[in-house]
Structure 1
Amino acid sequence: MRQPRRGLSVSTQCRATSTTAHSTTLDPAETEAMQCLEEGTQKLEEGDVQAAKALYQRSVDIKRTASSLFNLGVTHYHLKEYDEAIAAWKESIALQPSSPDAHTNLASAYIISPVSRPDLALHHLHVATTLSPEDPEIAFNYAAVLEACGRLEEALEQYKRSKEFGVDRAAMHIRNVSAKILGKKLQAAEAQSKGDSESSN
């Protein structure tokens, strides 16, 4: 699985950002929340994850928005605080269910956390592919988890989609999964023929 996407849950950007510079608001608390979000993004881009986390947390404390929770989740993930990342991304999705990035990141956290939950990861990757059907990285991640769960035909289909949309490394996985599928078919055929010969004796 790749690193989580950093960016607004309202877009497919891959770096953390908040709102546009010319955003207008009259509420001072909202202004401060957005400022913390902007400063947190700056710190994250500088590599200071702890400082970014503190600023995102402050933004969340002032006003819980999908984007502040999304970015807070990114910092938790980078700090290997997977339970906190999952909680932040789940709340971000509750506020904005249509974010493919939030679903993809949540799936990554479910896979990599100490108690892996591939079932939940598959659910969120399925949602993400539905929301963003032409995103090659989401298709690739979905394929990798399907393959790990032994769902080879579905994995092959997602690897093919990923390759079609431009992920070159998917080609190797297509060959590997195709070989696994063929191997399983040969094993099944051998078992069948062994069973048939034993029953005829």
Structure 2
Amino acid sequence: MSDIDPGIQYMQEGKLEEAAQYFTEAIESNPEEPVHYINFGNLLLHMKDYQRAERFYHKAIELDPKAATAFYGLGNVYFETEQLDKAQEYFQQSIQKGLEEADPYFMLGMTFLYNEKYRLSLPYLQRAQELSPQDVDIQFQYGLALAQSQQLEQAREAFEHTLQLEPQHSDAHYNLGVIALHDEEIRQALEHFNLALEIQPDHLLAGNGKKQIEKMLGEQDG
């Protein structure tokens, strides 16, 4: 185990003051070690203290210009503060510096998704999904990006995979309902909206979809 592990353990246990104390002492005892600044930055990011987190990540990069996780941390700071162009730049740099994990690809995809550049988000979300195929969030957001890009058959597969991972995912059912409605599979759409409402009774979009279909079916029967 490395000497920083107890601080991360404190964070995971929600003992934030103890984590801060540990990271402070780690920095004081070894001020040239970038990982201590990255870990403190992660703690500050978790606490939504974005300005200080930014300073700690920059200090880590000053000590080690190849510290990929510091670039990723800065990407998260800028994402959380809605500076999406800067977030994009830092997520890209974290990947270029060797952070070949699902998270930076996912977050890079999300910056494009938030900017409504759905097609540009797809390669990054697809790569994130390849690296972490069991991650429900990644799978669902990939489905949304496909749906927004009018790649409905692939989107259907992504939402179905989401439900395999998490059967109680109301939004996946809702989106499958929308795709079924688009394909004029009315009864199937209604089934998905009903399932979404069973899981989440206050799902407004699914409720509206259900009302629309019931009105359509009523008119057909009439």
Q: With the length of structure 1 as denominator, give the TM-score of the two structures.
A: 0.71
Provide, for residues 7-63 of structure 1, a one-character-per-residue CA deviation record: whole Å limited to 9, x for no partner.
xxxxxx9xxx9xxx8xxxxxx6751x1221122122222221111111112212221
Match of 1:7 in 2: none
1:70 offset after TM fit, Å?
0.7
Which of residues 76, 79, 93 in structure 1 aligns to 2:78? 76
Match of 1:41 in 2: 42
Match of 2:140 in 1: 140
The DSSP-based 3-state class of the residue aligned with 1:128 is: helix
State the alpha-carbon separation in 2 of the partners of residues 29 and 52 from structure 1: 16
Q: How does 1:7-156 map to 2 (within 5 A)?
A: 30-31=32-33, 33-63=34-64, 64-96=66-98, 98-113=100-115, 116-156=116-156
Q: Larger RCO: Structure 1 or Structure 2 (Cα < 8 Å, ≥ 6 residues apart)?
A: 1
Provide, for residues 56-96 of structure 1, a one-character-per-residue CA deviation record: whole Å limited to 9, x for no partner.
12212221312111111100111111111111110111122
State the alpha-carbon separation in 1 of the partners of residues 128 and 183 from structure 2: 26
State the alpha-carbon separation in 1 of the partners of residues 39 and 131 from structure 2: 27
Q: Does 1:181 align with 2:205?
A: no
Task: Check whether the contact 2:69–2:99 (CA below 8 A) recurs between aligned residues.
Answer: no
State the alpha-carbon separation in 2 of the partners of residues 117 and 57 from structure 1: 29
State the alpha-carbon separation in 1 of the partners of residues 130 and 58 from structure 2: 30
CA distance 1:165–1:126, change in 2 (3 Å):
same
1:120 offset after TM fit, Å?
2.0
Unaligned runs of 5+ in 2: 1-11, 13-18, 24-29, 186-222
Letter in 2 for 1:78: E
Letter in 2 for 1:175: G
Task: Check whether the contact 1:128–1:138 (CA below 8 A) recurs between aligned residues.
Answer: yes
The DSSP-based 3-state class of the residue aligned with 1:47 is: coil
Task: Please tell me the root mean square deviation across aligned C-alpha atoms, in Å.
Answer: 2.3
1:98 offset after TM fit, Å?
2.5
State the alpha-carbon separation in 1 of the partners of residues 62 and 77 from structure 2: 16
Higher helix share: 2
1:97 offset after TM fit, Å?
5.2
Q: With the length of structure 2 as denominator, give the TM-score of the two structures.
A: 0.65
Aligned residues: 157
